[in-house]
Amino acid sequence: MASLAFVHALGGAARRLSTTALRPNRGKVALAGLFLLALAVRLAWVAYVDCSPRDGRFDDTFWYDTRGQMLAHGQGYVFFDGVPTAAWPVGYPAFVAAIYRVTDDSVLSAKVANAFLGAFTVLGVYALGSRVFGPRAGWAAALVLAFFPNQVFFSALVMSEILSAFLLLLVLLAVVYLTLNRESSRWWGAAVVGLLIGLTAMVRGEFLLFVLVPFLPWRLVLGSWRRALGYLGVAFVSMGLVLTPWTVRNAVRLHYPVVVSTGAVANLLAGHWPGADGAGSFVPGNAVQEEYVHLTNPEREIAMYKAHIRKAVAWAVRHPWEEITLVPRKLYHLYRADSAGIQWILSRPVMGKEAVDFFTSVSNAYYYVVGGWVLLSLPAWWCLRDPRRLLLMLTVFYFSFIFGVVFVGDLRYHFALVPAAVVLASPALVAVWEHMRSREELPAEEAGRPPTGPDAPLAEGLS
């Protein structure tokens, strides 16, 4: 009976979520409080964890920090040998450079910027959840994200994850608010979507193809394949306007029109070679480097870029069955846990083993619980005829395809999906809340009813 009551509550929540709202003034104050709460949690973590890209580590944080400094001082985007490069997407180093320019290269300022972006992402999740499932779902999703451990942990790292998650959320909000309203959908909304996807791709290149994700939701709203293709074309052109200057720069400086970066092909080859196991590996890339060690940059960088693509595609074409068997292993490595933030912080030993074990366990446990709520909410969000819910479903599919088929799986790579995932988890959270409230209100309702049954007293006036 309890399970039937929960299912009934979930169904009722899915129907009523869009009709529930806070009073406007109280809502604004509450949202401000939510933002400050999320910000405080992230700033507290930044203050607690003493890790820095300048503490001797040699990882992605070192690259982003040093390239940010160089850009801030007008030295250009160059490799370690001082030659122009496109080894990593330039978006996040440019973002860091803008901060360093006004803060005298302060690493702390980059971390504080992460904290603010994370807090704004929490507000964005409220806006997305409210539009898709209603205000109560928006609040549930935002509160879950405010305390999401791995989302907090990355605040202390000078890495692109938080900025990319924020930009991807802006893409989803732009699609939902500007293009999925049948009464007010306009072509310029698709242009805004393309612009934001271009910016997101400049931070993390795997989002280049995300421009295809809104196509089916647009078809549902517009009622025409032709009009949906028109929106897609507008978004594609808008995205191209963002990417073109950087591509032209690469064509001039590297003598090859690299669209975003040359670095992603390392993970492409790691996912398609004889030793592939679904996870990342430097082995095939190291072999390619040895082949071209006699060249100098940028010729060497471009030659390696082409070789990675050529070898990966050739192996995939010749081994179709192995490609199929690799998919579940890549997905396992992509979704198996959520402790990437702690792993990257520990590039240098900045905390003790007990603290590491504790934060790792908390991060993974929180992630598994939220994943369970996503599955419990499936009856509410599995709706192919609702363009907003379909958009979130296709976002999950996009991540699974890009990292489960094209590249490799890694805990770090699902980071930007988490804001959408907590929105998908919210209907079940609201349903449980409503079910608990209904159980609390039931005795009060029964208290006002006249008693019935064999022990009930005779009605007054009878004898």
Specify if 455 maps to a domain: no
Q: Is residue 175 part of a domain?
A: yes
Instruction: Flag whether 462 is in a domain.
Output: no
What is the C-alpha separation between 354 and 350, in angstroms, rounded? 12
Q: Which residue range(s) make up the domain with 175?
A: 2-435
Q: What is the pLDDT of residue 79?
A: 96
Report the pLDDT value the prediction gives residue 409, as an integer from 0 to 100: 96
Residue with token string 């609390």: 440
Distances (CA, A) of 57 to 348, 430, 444: 6, 44, 62
Distance CA 287, CA 282 (A): 9
Within 10 angstroms of residue 294's Cβ, the number of other Cβ atoms is 7
Best CA proximity match to 243, nearest among 207, 215, 202, 271: 202
DSSP H helices in 336-462? 340-345, 353-376, 378-381, 387-401, 418-447
The Cα 388–Cα 173 span in angstroms is 10
335-366 burial, b at 16+ Cβ within 10 Å, e below that, comes to beebbbbbebbebeebbeeeebeebbeebbeb
User: Would you say residue 196 lies in a domain?
Assistant: yes
The answer to whether residue 156 sits within a structural domain is yes
- DSSP assignments along 207-267, one per residue: GGGGGGTTHHHHHHHHS-HHHHHHHHHHHHHHHHHHHHHHHHHHHHHTSS--SS-STTHHH
- Enclosing H/E stretch for 34: helix 24-48
Helix ranges (H only) for 134-186 are 135-146, 149-153, 161-174
Evaluate whether 411 touches 333 at the Cβ level (below 8 Å).
yes
Residue 447 lies in a domain: no
pLDDT of residue 26: 84
- Read off the tokens for 12: 């009722």
Burial classification of residue 88, based on how many CB atoms lie within 10 Å of its CB (0-12 exposed, 13-18 middle, 19 or more buried): buried
Tens place of pLDDT per residue across the chain (463 aa): 444 444 455 555 555 544 444 455 788 899 999 999 999 999 999 999 989 999 999 999 999 999 999 999 999 999 999 999 999 999 999 999 999 999 999 999 999 999 999 999 999 999 999 999 999 999 999 999 999 999 999 999 999 999 999 999 999 999 999 999 877 778 899 999 999 999 999 999 999 999 999 999 999 999 999 999 999 999 999 999 999 999 999 999 999 999 999 999 999 999 999 999 999 999 999 999 999 999 999 999 999 999 999 999 999 999 999 999 999 999 999 999 999 999 999 988 889 999 999 999 999 999 999 999 999 999 999 999 999 999 999 999 999 999 999 999 999 999 999 999 999 999 999 999 888 887 776 665 554 555 554 444 433 333 3
Q: How far apart are CA 5 and CA 460, in angstroms?
A: 37
Burial profile 153-176: b = 16 or more Cβ within 10 angstroms, e = fewer: bbbbbbbbbbbbbbbbbbbbbbbb
Examine residue 451 and state whether it is found in any structural domain, yes or no.
no
Domain contains 443: no
Q: In this structure, are residues 10 and 377 in contact, taking their beta carbons and an 8 Å threshold?
A: yes
- Contact yes or no for 381/312 (Cβ under 8 A): no
Q: What pLDDT was estimated at residue 60? A: 95
Tell me the C-alpha distance between 443 and 138, whole Å: 30
Number of domains in the chain: 1
Question: String of b and e for 11-33 (b: at least 16 CB within 10 Å)?
Answer: eebbeebeebeeeeeeeeeebee
- CA nearest 167: which of 220, 219, 205, 221? 205
* Spatial contact of 70 and 78, defined as CB atoms under 8 Å apart: yes
